[in-house]
Amino acid sequence: MAARDEILNELKAVLTHEAHLDMHESPLDIDLEDGVLLLSGEVEHIAAKKRAVELASGIEGVKEVRDLLTVKPASRMGDEEIRNHVRDLLLQEPELHFYAIRQQDAEGLREMRPMSGDLECYINVAVEDGIVTLEGQADSLARMRMAGVLAWWVPGTRAVRNRIAIVPAEEDNDLEVGDNLLRILEKDPYVDATQIQVRVQDHVVTLSGAVIGPRERDMAESDAWFMPGVKNVINQIQVNP
């Protein structure tokens, strides 16, 4: 019991000092059993969710972190509305044009678009209580990440569980993360990617450059946080007067 309490106390102290988290406004539910740490609760933004999981993973004695955290949505939407938006974004994305897209609804798993080409690539979309689950098979890390970010772009999304497998497996690295993020920034209609520079070291993203407003600055940072494989984001983007 003492060891368990020590781990939990250490984690709470670390989370309290994390700039992206407000443990008073958005308290987390934390439980530990046999080295498996459960994090649940609703946080203000994606950065808080990602940092909480990353910090918890670094605590000695924690073998596994089960991330059940959700993000306060930009607007409240029903599951069907969220699912339809995610589905449509996946169908409209040119890089996924040869992917089969399927949705889980009251009628079961239904195919919205059949697979085309020689690669067996597909994405299944399900939504429950604002949590989007993506399952399937992708031919690259870039397209897996793209699908996850598109799901996060839907304003009612509270969490994205990206369970898309990469076949054949690819080795991830800083160059891959940087390239993937640049492609996402280029697709974001609220961001001028030509004005933003991306540097990645040890899966920590540093953003620099200059944009015309704080909203664009925040959107670029969110895009980085939305990507699987990003541990932290340092936003050095300046806002032009």
Report how far residue 131's alpha carbon sits from residue 79's, in angstroms, rounded to the nearest whole number: 8
CATH tag for 2-71 (out of 3.30.1340.30, 1.20.58.2050, 1.20.1740.10, 1.10.10.10): 3.30.1340.30
pTM (two decimals): 0.94
Looking at per-residue pLDDT, the higher value among 26 and 208 belongs to 208
pLDDT band at 2 (very low <50, low <70, confident <90, very high): low
pLDDT tens, position by position, 117-135:
788 999 999 999 999 999 9
Do the two domains 2-71 and 174-239 of this chain adopt the same fold?
A: yes
Mean of the per-residue pLDDT values of the chain? 95
Report how far residue 158's alpha carbon sits from residue 140's, in angstroms, rounded to the nearest whole number: 25
Query: What CATH number belongs to 79-166?
Result: 3.30.70
Nearest to 75 by CA among 158, 150, 15: 158
What is the fold of 174-239?
Answer: Histidine-containing Protein; Chain: A; (3.30.1340)
How is the chain split into domains, by residue range? 2-71, 79-166, 174-239
Give the contacts of 189 (CB within 8 A, at least 6 positions apart).
Answer: none
